[in-house]
Amino acid sequence: MNSALTRRERLRRRPEFLKVQQAGIRARGRYQTLFVLPNQHGLSRLGIIATRRLGGAVCRNRSKRLIREMFRLNKGRPGLDLVVLPRPGFFDVPFASLQADYCAVLRRFEKSHG
């Protein structure tokens, strides 16, 4: 089974990222910040912003792999564009804590924005 995200499940272009960041709702967690915007595609899409402030290439790539795995396991309701920005301290905690933080932020968004 291939668990890679399909092209339709990814935000790929800068204007897509900017639209979610500017028009979406920002929800901060302890280890990551999520920008969430409903879309008309009928499925959730993911974008990741891993800046150099996070660390070197190894750290940034590892953070992207972890975030993609969290998204695969917990997509939330369909029809959302998500942009995830890992925060400092992202690597200092186990995956279970990162996943719990991600789920809590998503639940908080869904609870307040139906």
Place of tokens 């499925």: 43
Percent of the chain scoring above 70 in pLDDT: 96
Residue 1 has pLDDT above 50, yes or no: no
User: Which one has a higher pLDDT value, 76 or 17?
Assistant: 17
The domain over range 7-113 is classified in CATH as 3.30.230.10: yes
Residue 26 phi, psi (nearest 5): -90, 130
Q: What pLDDT, in 10s, does the model give residues 50-62?
A: 999 988 999 999 9
Q: Tokens at residue 39, please? A: 């879309």
β-pairing, 25-28 vs 45-48, is unpaired
Distance of alpha carbon 39 from alpha carbon 77, whole angstroms: 11
β-pairing, 80-86 vs 45-48, is parallel
Angle at 3 between CA 39 and CA 59, to 5 degrees: 85
pTM, 2 dp = 0.90
Place of tokens 């929800």: 27
Q: How confident is the model at residue 76 (pLDDT cuts 50, 70, 90)?
A: confident
Distance of alpha carbon 14 from alpha carbon 67, whole angstroms: 19
